[in-house]
Structure 1
Amino acid sequence: MSMKSLRFILVIMLLSVQGFSLQSVDTATAKALLKQNGYQGDESQLKDMAKNYRDKKQSGIGNEKDTTLQKNDSAMQEKKEIPKGLPPEENSMYENILQNKIIDPDTILKKLPVFGLDVFKNMKPLSFTPENNLAAPADYTIGSGDEINILVWGRMNEEYRLKVDREGRINIPHQGPVAVAGLPFTVMQKTILDRMQSIEGVQASVTMGELRNISVFIVGEVKSPGMFTLSSLSNVTNALFAAGGPNKRGSLRNIQLKRNGSIIATIDFYDFLLSGKDNAGIRLKSGDVIVVPIVKKMAAIAGNVRRSALYEIKQGDMLKDLVSLAGGVSPAAWTNRIQIERFQNNQFQRVLDVEADKNQAIPEKEILDGDIVKIFPIVIKDDNAVYLSGNVYRPGKYEFKQGMKVTDLLPEFKSLLPETYFEYAVVLRQNPPSFLNNLIPFNLEKAINEKNSSDNIPLQTMDVVMIYSRDYFEPDRTVFIGGAVNTPGKQKILENMKIRDLIIQAGGLLEEASEERGELYRRVYENETVSTQKTGFNVSLALQDDPKNNIVLKKYDAVFIRNKKGWEQEKHVTLAGEITYSGEYILLKGETLNALIERAGGFTKDAYLPAATLTRPTVRLLESKRNEDYVNRLQSDALTVSTELVAKQQQAGDVQNLLMQQQQLMNRMRNGETAGRVVIDMTNEASYGDFLLENGDSLYIPKKAGTVSVIGEVYNPATFRIESGISSVKYYLELAGGAKANADIKNIYIIKANGSVLTHKSADIMEYTLCPADAIVVPQKVEYKNNFKIFMDSMTAVVQISSLLLSFVTVLIVLKSY
């Protein structure tokens, strides 16, 4: 392949990368790009090469993977990227001032942005170009490819859409060609109107149709350099946005527009960013080249300015110019000293402190490339203020005035909150040179009452006046009330508070409160001895404000209101099941179970008394406590057993199995619900006749069940109907499939319907006659196999047998020798 052909293919590849179809690039554009790449051939050779390239593409020869040339340019320009979620916006300068945030320049230097680049952050190349359907400005220059619309009416009614050809002319029907290229829009419009309206009886209007596209080159430090097809209305600003904007190395203040090899404009994009003035408004032409050079001079300014950033500077820019680019200093900036970090002769970095003049103006100091300017915050604030805090209505800072005293902040007692402590208040003062806090105590009451007294302390700047509440010195100023009141407990004691006030504060008396018996307990101090004194009072008279009974209270007093004689809370008992009048009953004093059953009408004829169930809440709580104690003992025993087994070098698996069994047992006991059942024989009136009931007791009398249950280690745990004449345990065990191999036959027990338990120690279990609602429980056999012990016992037996055989053989040998 020849060098010329290779260069041509490189140009075509460049065009395809920029998203152009081959047909959209005119010969002049392609030729200009070829010449930049060293191609010196004539136009006919260029056309022949382009034709050959098109023929190869149509016949499928060449790079078939290059489908970029088939993309539609307008579709690419219309496609826009949806910006992703933006980071949270930083506080503004004024928000930082309101929040009293100190802006340290050194903390923000590492994340300092380059000013101006964020404008292009969310723009995609080729997504910011003028629309071609906008009205053409009056000075728009007509060129080849523009569309001109002519509307004719009157003697003729015609509409023409005419394209300006390569020779710069349009061919108007019945009028012939008219040269329009190079004419401003208004001149072109007048020329055509004059031509059309020269026909008698004809009116016409001339407008622009679709505008031509132009091809420009954007090179240098931009995000997407190359050649771009833009609208003919585009200027340098449009082109920069089309290329994605300058990168971080690119200059924003020295952008060059080249036309025919000459620089026709240098654009400072800061004018657009800072004031909105688009000085880059020169309209582009095909073949224009926009160059974004590398930035040559930059300086950083950080801290208490309105916009900390990296700024591009020009030769001769002064410190005030840089501060102006940053929007000026903030109100919180300390301009007495501005620090500049500067690189000196590419050898070292120096620190320069620039001091402001008497007028606090920005000093005259030239800014050099690489300078870092720091504007520090004001750290001394409120130096003309005094502070008021504590038990006052309006705490805060106040302007200091010469001759100010404490009473200027607190002119009267109304300035204080209730419960103020008057005997002691302080002024915190920082005295130079150490500026340590010094306490100046004073009597607040005297200061307000006697404004000329020494307690009315003269104030200085930065003083803090602290007023205390009584709770600070007497934190537990309370009295206690208990007994028959609605809200027993501690109450805050108030001045001149009496027993009646305390009873009312506690919500008043309960129904059971005695009207006569109340008790007051008071601490009595005698030197170092403390004792408690009891004083009785009549509650009714105290509520009537009788001075002998409505006693004034002191701190730590305790008042008790006793119950009326014989007062008891109502006790409720529930009778359920086969009771004539079942339901909830209020228990009378000293009433027994038998008496309550009689009051409820006795049992029904279907009552099955052997299965009666009596539950009691106090028993339930006691059972829960005992279960918890037993589980705790099991845990302790398990730890002891495991320690002993490990000490005896037992196998780890055996120890683990034992601990697992114990843990399962403890979990079942801990998670099991306690019934609180009291075992009582309801078949014998003598056993429950004098049984006293408690609040919350519940008696349930079921109907005759006619069944027995078999549970535990059997093959078919179930409930079975009692067979007539057959009621032995053995029979029902066989119905349940018999005991499993791991069943503990010797320890089978029976739970009777009334909750009592029958074991083999008190009866022959297998031949015992079951009653309805009884349950047979077959427990699991618990075995602990110590494999290590079995092995050691076996080895001991082997050794003993071996010793015996050896002795026998020895005897035989001895006998044989004789």
Structure 2
Amino acid sequence: MKISNKILVWFLVVQFFTVSTSFAQVVEPELPTKNIETQPQAIQDKIPTNQPQLSIIEKLFNTIPADNQIIEQFGYEIFENGVGSTSARIPSGYKLRIGDRVNVYFWGDTIDILSMAGSPVVQPSIDVIVDKEGNLFIPGVGLIPAKDKTVNNVEQQVYSLLSSKFNGFKVKVTVYEPGNFPVMVMGNIKKPGVVYLNSSSSLIDAVSLAGGVTKEGSLREIVYINGANKSRLTLDLYDLLIKGQQKNISLKEGDVILVKPIGKVVSLSEGVKKPAIYEFKSGESLQTLISMAGGLLPSINSKNVQVESFDKASNQKITRDVNDFELGKIYPNDGDSLAFKSAYNVSENIVTIEGNVKHPGSFQYKNGMKLSNILKTQDELLTKTFVYQAVIERIDGVEKEITTISVSLVDFFNGIIDPELAPQDKVKIYPNTKMQNIEISGYISNPCIIPYVDNMALKDLIATVDFEVPSEVNYVDSRIVGNMRKVNINNIVAEITSKNSDNVKTVYLYELLTRNNNAYNVNLAAGDRVLFRPVSDKEALRTVKILGYVKSPGVYKVRPGLKISNAIEMAGGLTEEAYMKGLIFNRSGIAQQQQLIQEESLLKLKEDLALKINKMQNLDKNALTTDAKQFEDNQEELINIKDNKFKENQGRIAINIKDNKITESDDLEVKDGDEIFIPSTPQHINVIGEVHNQSAIAYYPTKTVKYYIDNVGGLTKQAKKSEIYVIKANGTSVKAKKLSALTLDPGDAIIVPRKIGLPINWTSITKDVFQTMVNSMSAIFMISRF
């Protein structure tokens, strides 16, 4: 009978499980609909490499592609790899959402679970979904509130409901598949609109589902807007693409992602490890951009950097060269194209012969190689060769300068000379064409006639000469070598006379070679005569130091007649931070004169002080000693302050500025040794002297002298209000007659002088006078009695 009862119980259990399962399938809530086919494509179709479809930005930099190399915008391919996996690990503390699919597991002692015959039982594993009301329906348990609850919260609720019916069991709840929720993706997106994400989706996934960022959109300014509190966070995808750094953002229903338009762009097309078009922010230098592109290639010499810019005014591209020290100080313009070129494009272990020879070409260099090893007989020359001079161009020194060696082919073939060659030497043989020569003379070691070649310019000619003068000539900035004196090339002038005219073109080599001003690289013509001579005293260059907030600070050599404004333009002009009203212009000659005047002034002040102290002591040697000492100390302090203030401005000439420009009368001609400093715009006013709290106060455009004095506690009793004055940022002084009327400029200083009257102790003096009178009256009284 017991066996029959057990069989009956097991039969009822099996039937109950079957019924429960069927019931669960019937009452299961409706799932949120999700049409996969209507979702935005996660992977873009890649552009065929043979027919690239360029964006507007890419077309700007690919007008003349070299070697069919297309420069593309950096980083946009990140959206071609689709969305992340939905099976990512659910973070701890995850709160359930509508549509989440969860698994509920039960296990324990079966006898305990079935101990109460007829009681509802549960399945060992149940797959359920959070319905639209935010509930979980678990067969055998009932409805459980789940929305915004953690998995642990749900486990505790299930256990609490079943523990009153069963013993010896355990519950485990896990998220099997997170549900989807809507997020808005807007801005410069290929398919803007709503995308559906889950809890494991990232911002990249959201943008990818919307088709990715268009190439007119920014990768460096993507704005995340929190749907709950409307807070904003700007993301820079370059942090992820270049540094591997990513901000963890937990996307939620109602969030918005906004892609801003692309910012400034620059092309790094050559010499870097990752050529591309990069988006950059204000304040990022060329050095920063090189780092973005993975750095320079090992073969690149950073001292030879070519920057190509687009000039909107002339509608042309212009180029300039910069060195490696300037890379961190130069900031590109929007649309710049940068190419980093190697110093030399040839192998270092070869020599080359070219020009009027039958077999021009390159030869492997060997130690001890001479010209005769590559030019063996006259038969190797073509007809009409200019045999009186060939040229060997040589790369020499640490700075890799090109020097030239003149060779007479007549002497060479006669066995008189056979110059030794060096790696990278280039031997040039010229044709002998009638009237196609240029005559070179003057202060050079090798006056000669050289062949003219097409498009020859002054720089080409300079490469063939050494500048020297006879040693007996007393020439500044030179050194004696043998019986000749080597001359600084910056102090040389080239005078060019054409064969059919007596007109002379004058070119200062400092402008051409040091300042690299190609406007001075004049084209030569056949028959021209070039004379090199020293700069005369009247033409002598002047050294001017231009520092501060100019685009290219440094020491410049300038010609007579150059004004202060011209010198600032020479240094590239002002930066955005420059404060022209605070211009400091120092001149050493003025400093010496000012020093003599200051010494005389200080001596007179000290003499006046000694006289005043002497007068004080004559009034009362005992009673006024302390006051006199205090007065003397105060006056000494004032004299020292005045002296220190003078030293700060020693040599300065005050320059008046109007509308951010130097007035015509103050635009002085610069002299040798002058210094120009442009400060940044200050944000304060200094208040110095007899005020309760000497300090600097934030500048306000409409505030007067009175406002700033009041903000440092006002005047002291020793202040001489009638003598308050203002030192302007340009060095001039203005007396503040009405404190409430005079407005200031940034960087001005308010000076409150001390009263200089003699401090007299009237109490002591009155006492002494009274005592004297009493004594006198007593004496008169005594006399009258006799």
State the TM-score, normalizing by the size of structure 2.
0.37
State the TM-score, normalizing by the size of structure 1.
0.36
Question: Highest CA radius of gyration, 1 or 2?
Answer: 1
